[in-house]
Chains A and B, each alone.
Chain A
Amino acid sequence: MAPPNGDKGTALLEKLSRIDSGKPPFGCMQCGLCAATCPLGPAMEYPPRKLILQTIAGNLDKVLTSPSLWMCVACYACSKRCPRGIELTEELWPALRDAAMQEGHQPPAELQETFQNVFKYGNVLGKSPRQRLQWAKDLDVRVLDLSKDPKPVDVLWLVGCYPSYYPRNQGVARSFARIMTELGVSWGILGTKEKAVGECDRMFGEEGLFETLVEQNRQLFDEQDFGKIVVLDPHAFRALQSFYPRFGAWYPVQHYTQFLEEYIEQLKPLMVKPVEAVVTYHDNCCVGRRCECYDPPRELLKLIPGVKLVEMSRNRDDSLCCGGGGGGMWLDAHIVANGGRRLSDERVQQAADTGADTLAVSCPYELSRFEDAAKVTGLEGKLKVRDIIELMAESMDLGERSIA
């Protein structure tokens, strides 16, 4: 039986029956676990359960035009818990968003601008590619720019958009460069040639743009001789681990927490300065909930003398998202305008409730999101937000003078 929306409905359902991860949505038993799990579910006109119900029933016009289609921040909580193993986050939402855009329903303006930025400049911030190396200016360790000086390296480090351009994150990039050098790692970067990996574009249904980025990046990567890719951005990790191979672009990749964990024994004696802090760690969604990699970041924090690690009531599997994933970075206004809330505001409060004075993170988005949230919720000065790299670098006496 053809669904009410004719060909376009058929095409979408056909696509959803051939998804690459998890199970297709047709097995949904309408238990509603997803909707009540979704941190933004109560604000959605079509929370995940209803989205599936309407999609299968063929009422595409309803879901494709609803503001709730643009409210998922890709926290993976629904996918993780779904009793029928349906992959909502990585498959259903992107497919529906792609369908919406093909139908001419535009995403919120802020997000469109981000797509434009990636399309024109290869980065989400709309900065000139020539400024990509700004973060490394006057850096006290040698940076090997493979795009100019191709040499075999063990680690191809994709610095990422935020750490390359955004002042608050540039310090993290510099510290990471120092840590890798201190560990004697042979590493290089792609310099001004580096481009966004494109995870948020795929999650937001810009599949065409994503495919272009995969092609461009594949060419860039294939020109180099490296052992593995290391990224600071958990989203880039997930994309390279799972989405790129679907286009035949397979590269060994590690998030920096996984990479550094392999150096634990070597790092131990390098932690010379105590960092007196009560620290709680926020599990990011991609490396954490999606890939169930919960221990490496904690092991790294435990290395640091003086750090007392405490857990938030919601941690690991059950961690609350910062609200920045899957394009959520550029959706705060849309979400709030449609009755939702900024999850980062709630999360910093949960962090403060533990009695911690420091919220440790391992994702470039989270630094600014949580710092903003701390300001809004009156926690500024009481709760510092710091990347694990910053805390480690401080203990190794390699940190940024201004921050340490």
Chain B
Amino acid sequence: MSDNETLRIGVYVCHCGTNIAAVIDVEALTKFAEGLPHVALARNYKYMCSDPGQELVKQDIAEYGLNRIVVAACSPNLHEPTFRRAAEDAGLNRFLVQMANIREQVAWVTEDGELALEKAKAHVAGAVRRVARHEALQRQFVRITPRAMVVGGGIAGIQAALTLAEAGKEVVLVEREPSIGGHMAMFDKTFPTLDCAACILTPKMTSVKVNPNIKLLTYSEIESVEGSVGNFKVKVRRKPRYINEDLCVGCMQCIDGCVFTQAKFPNSFDQGLGMRKPVWVPFPQAVPPVPVVDPEVCLQIARGKCKQGCVEACGERGAFDFDQQEKIEEYEVGAIIIATGFKAFDPSVIPYYGYGKYPNVYTSLEVERLLNAGGPTGGKLILRDGSTPKKVGIIHCVGSRDVNYHEYCSRVCCMYSLKIAHLVREKTGAEVYNCYIDIRAPGKGFEEFYNRVQNEGVQFVRGKVADITPVANGSGPLVMKVDDTLLGHIREIEVDMVILAVALEPHADAGEVRRNFGISCSNEGFFLEKHPKLAPVNTANDGVLVAGACQGAKDIPDTVAQADAAAAKALAMIDAGEIELEPNTAWIDEEMCSGCKTCINLCPFQAITADEERKIAVIDQALCKGCGTCVAACPSGAAKQHLFGDRQIDEELEGLMNYV
């Protein structure tokens, strides 16, 4: 702004229906605004955000030559873009608009009308004095690298990657385990339709494998992330498989050839209930169908000495490479979808359920593996001693809905417990007792499934089991002690097997992922979406999206829907080709910068670097989020911020405090 320019400010007071007008006397506020310095006109209107409301602003700019606009209405989070656009349409620079938030900060929180009016006056006066100091700014855009990365290869990651790839976009899919598939690959059936999990999942896994747009990196983890929306540089650590993926054809003959004739190491995919050899694949339909070698127990790697039956079996393909080293690869992507999933709660921390102490107490995930035809028992539900249980207890809410563990409801346990109850009855005919607090069946076809399982003869006991004790010492039957709150007395139910419906919780290293990608976690440790209702797959870091159970416990239908939503957001971003940056970034007044580097370490977004030659700090406008930390910290006043200049803030404060 040049100091000679004649200021002509227009002030618009919104009624917001009755939201504002029922508390604040809008006429009096308008009259007050008219009397403020440089105010050319002041109006009030029922809904400023409506088309006629916006039109009013546009017409006034044209007719009265307004060159600054103040809208006294709701939070700038909601309609600031609306009025900036309206101003721009009328030929005014969009950053010469200021919102005075008289709804959230005044009308909704102030009961006394007179006091509310006074407070609203202060806000309007502050906004008027501030906007007088605003300067015209240029909108800034960055180009977007037309490639996305999906982190996590469970059903969420698979779905998101396929949607992007099918739209012709390049996708880098990173998975920590040797195969994609995630938890869904462990399940036997899925509720409430009882679809076979593998039957609906493996076609998608195969599609991932054959889609030329998808670069699949399994057995790989994120090392570091640099850059910002549109231009991320992600380093991926590729763990050695000791088998060359390009040469292996997935014949699995090496596993047969391994010098260990017996599989004797716990298979993590089978929750330790099944055994594997040092060279192994988690499950037959693994993608890629390439085994991995466990360096801890492989004789050749651990001791440097083995007959190498595996290499012999591989023969002239020569896929084995015991010298393979971990390597770091870097990928440039425009958007990132985080779909790292969940971890099943470990119930051994609850002393009264005796998990880990009594062999016949299982987690629900272990039972999924027992029920699965590809699992350690070939789909037979048998106890560790090989016998078939005649009575089975299922305890709901283990680790969920409990302030001592996780306060939240895990959302899927009721339904998977009903599914397990159904499968147990189907496979063994056992009597099944589902001990629950409340049955939560709010999805499509869920209530009907609940009803079906009831009619199949499953017993429902409303109460949280308080103790599990063995009938006699050793590994025999167990007694569940529970207050049957509907019968109104405490029961002791003898069962052969107890299944704990464990909670879904964030991965132990979710914090590290959060830091790497510059996003936030909610209290319980799941990744935080930008807005719970209106931006459910965006995060605080633009260009980083979330999908699936890493954002909060959810079932497969919701996960897939969210994955597609995230993919659509990524697509929209990539197809737009460029993205607008927030204008309120910080910048360095090079004349004033002494090169002390105070700001560099303070910047939470690593947006500031030192130009060692010129001895000044440099702020990357694409990385700066406008938090103002450097501005406040700079000892020489060289760090400045667009829309938050000293004079702008001073004037606003003056207006707020001395409005009368």
> Which A residues lie at the B interface, using CB under 8 A?
23, 29-37, 41-42, 47, 49-50, 81-85, 316-318
| Residues from chain B with Cβ under 8 Å of A36 in the complex | 463-467, 481-483, 490
| B142 adjacent to chain A (CB < 8 Å) | no
A83 touches B402 (CB 8 A): yes
A41 touches B352 (CB 8 A): no
Contact with B403, one of A31, A35, A49, A83 (Cβ below 8 angstroms): A83
A42 touches B437 (CB 8 A): no
| Residues from chain A with Cβ under 8 Å of B482 in the complex | 32, 36
Q: Total interface residues on B, using CB and 8 Å?
A: 23
Assembled-state Cα–Cα distance A344/B466 (Å): 21
Closest B residue by C-beta to A29: B437
B404 touches A83 (CB 8 A): yes
Given A83-B401, A83-B464, verify A32-B485 contact (CB < 8 Å).
yes
Assembled-state Cα–Cα distance A252/B446 (Å): 56
A41 touches B483 (CB 8 A): yes
| Residues from chain A with Cβ under 8 Å of B351 in the complex | 316-318
A84 touches B352 (CB 8 A): no
A49 touches B483 (CB 8 A): yes
| B438 adjacent to chain A (CB < 8 Å) | yes
A35 touches B490 (CB 8 A): yes
Contact with A33, one of B438, B466, B484, B488 (Cβ below 8 angstroms): B466
| Residues from chain A with Cβ under 8 Å of B404 in the complex | 81, 83, 85
| Residues from chain B with Cβ under 8 Å of A47 in the complex | 483, 490
CB distance from A29 to the nearest CB of B (A): 6
Q: Which 6 A-B pairs have the closest CB atoms?
A: A32-B483, A36-B466, A83-B402, A35-B483, A31-B464, A32-B463
A49 touches B466 (CB 8 A): no
Assembled-state Cα–Cα distance A36/B490 (Å): 6
Assembled-state Cα–Cα distance A8/B83 (Å): 57
Assembled-state Cα–Cα distance A34/B463 (Å): 10
CB distance from A397 to the nearest CB of B (A): 38
| Residues from chain B with Cβ under 8 Å of A33 in the complex | 463-466, 483
CB distance from A167 to the nearest CB of B (A): 37
Contact with B485, one of A31, A42, A81 (Cβ below 8 angstroms): A31
Contact with A along B419-442 (1 / 0, CB 8 A): 000000000000000000110000
| Residues from chain A with Cβ under 8 Å of B489 in the complex | 42
CB distance from B397 to the nearest CB of A (A): 8
Counting chain A CB atoms within 10 Å of each CB, the highest count among B404, B462, B466, B481 belongs to B466
B403 touches A81 (CB 8 A): no
Given A31-B485, A36-B463, verify A81-B490 contact (CB < 8 Å).
no
B402 touches A37 (CB 8 A): no
A81 touches B483 (CB 8 A): no
CB distance from A36 to the nearest CB of B (A): 3
Q: State which residues 323-351 of B face A: CB under 8 Å.
A: 351
Assembled-state Cα–Cα distance A42/B467 (Å): 13
CB distance from B483 to the nearest CB of A (A): 3
Assembled-state Cα–Cα distance A31/B404 (Å): 15
A41 touches B463 (CB 8 A): no
| Residues from chain A with Cβ under 8 Å of B397 in the complex | 31, 83
Closest B residue by C-beta to A317: B351
Counting chain B CB atoms within 10 Å of each CB, the highest count among A31, A41, A81 belongs to A31
CB distance from B413 to the nearest CB of A (A): 14
Q: In the complex, given contacts A32-B483, A36-B466, A36-B490, what are 5 additional A-B residue pairs having Cβ atoms less than 8 angstroms apart? A: A30-B485, A31-B397, A36-B465, A36-B482, A37-B467
Closest A residue by C-beta to B480: A36
Closest B residue by C-beta to A22: B403
Number of A-B contacts (CB under 8 A): 67
Q: State which residues 392-408 of B face A: CB under 8 Å.
A: 397, 401-404
Contact with A37, one of B466, B485, B488 (Cβ below 8 angstroms): B466
CB distance from A31 to the nearest CB of B (A): 4
Contact with B490, one of A42, A85, A316 (Cβ below 8 angstroms): A42
Contact with B464, one of A23, A32, A41, A42 (Cβ below 8 angstroms): A32
B403 touches A85 (CB 8 A): yes
CB distance from B476 to the nearest CB of A (A): 15
Closest B residue by C-beta to A318: B351
| Residues from chain A with Cβ under 8 Å of B463 in the complex | 31-33, 36
Assembled-state Cα–Cα distance A376/B397 (Å): 41
CB distance from A223 to the nearest CB of B (A): 42
A81 touches B466 (CB 8 A): yes
Closest A residue by C-beta to B351: A318
Can you report 15 residue pairs joining A to B where beta carbons are below 8 Å apart?
A: A29-B437, A29-B438, A31-B397, A31-B463, A31-B483, A31-B485, A32-B466, A34-B483, A35-B483, A36-B490, A37-B352, A42-B489, A81-B352, A82-B403, A318-B352
| Residues from chain B with Cβ under 8 Å of A84 in the complex | 403
| Residues from chain B with Cβ under 8 Å of A23 in the complex | 403
Closest B residue by C-beta to A48: B483
CB distance from B463 to the nearest CB of A (A): 4
CB distance from B445 to the nearest CB of A (A): 26
Closest A residue by C-beta to B491: A36
| Residues from chain A with Cβ under 8 Å of B466 in the complex | 32-33, 35-37, 81
Assembled-state Cα–Cα distance A50/B401 (Å): 20
Q: State which residues 447-471 of B face A: CB under 8 Å.
A: 462-467
B490 touches A31 (CB 8 A): no
| Residues from chain B with Cβ under 8 Å of A34 in the complex | 483
| Residues from chain A with Cβ under 8 Å of B403 in the complex | 23, 82-85
| Residues from chain A with Cβ under 8 Å of B401 in the complex | 29, 83
CB distance from B30 to the nearest CB of A (A): 44
CB distance from B493 to the nearest CB of A (A): 11
CB distance from B123 to the nearest CB of A (A): 36
Q: State which residues 462-507 of B face A: CB under 8 Å.
A: 462-467, 481-485, 488-490
Assembled-state Cα–Cα distance A318/B354 (Å): 11
| Residues from chain B with Cβ under 8 Å of A29 in the complex | 401, 437-438
CB distance from A30 to the nearest CB of B (A): 6
A41 touches B490 (CB 8 A): yes
| Residues from chain A with Cβ under 8 Å of B481 in the complex | 36
Counting chain A CB atoms within 10 Å of each CB, the highest count among B352, B464, B467, B484 belongs to B464
Assembled-state Cα–Cα distance A34/B464 (Å): 9
Assembled-state Cα–Cα distance A22/B657 (Å): 42
| Residues from chain A with Cβ under 8 Å of B467 in the complex | 36-37
Assembled-state Cα–Cα distance A345/B403 (Å): 33
Assembled-state Cα–Cα distance A50/B487 (Å): 12
Assembled-state Cα–Cα distance A207/B333 (Å): 67
Closest A residue by C-beta to B438: A29
| Residues from chain A with Cβ under 8 Å of B485 in the complex | 30-32, 49
Assembled-state Cα–Cα distance A182/B186 (Å): 63
CB distance from A368 to the nearest CB of B (A): 28
Closest B residue by C-beta to A314: B351
| Residues from chain A with Cβ under 8 Å of B465 in the complex | 33, 36
| Residues from chain A with Cβ under 8 Å of B462 in the complex | 32
CB distance from B471 to the nearest CB of A (A): 14
Assembled-state Cα–Cα distance A317/B467 (Å): 13
Assembled-state Cα–Cα distance A31/B401 (Å): 10
Assembled-state Cα–Cα distance A30/B437 (Å): 8
Q: State which residues 38-68 of B face A: CB under 8 Å.
A: none
Closest B residue by C-beta to A80: B404
| Residues from chain B with Cβ under 8 Å of A82 in the complex | 403
Assembled-state Cα–Cα distance A36/B469 (Å): 13
Counting chain A CB atoms within 10 Å of each CB, the highest count among B352, B481, B489, B490 belongs to B490
Assembled-state Cα–Cα distance A32/B437 (Å): 9
Closest A residue by C-beta to B489: A42
| Residues from chain A with Cβ under 8 Å of B352 in the complex | 37, 81, 318
| Residues from chain B with Cβ under 8 Å of A85 in the complex | 403-404
Closest A residue by C-beta to B483: A32
CB distance from A82 to the nearest CB of B (A): 8
| Residues from chain A with Cβ under 8 Å of B438 in the complex | 29
CB distance from B2 to the nearest CB of A (A): 62
Closest B residue by C-beta to A50: B488
| Residues from chain B with Cβ under 8 Å of A37 in the complex | 352, 466-467
Assembled-state Cα–Cα distance A376/B519 (Å): 64
| Residues from chain B with Cβ under 8 Å of A41 in the complex | 483, 490
CB distance from B237 to the nearest CB of A (A): 39
Assembled-state Cα–Cα distance A162/B106 (Å): 63
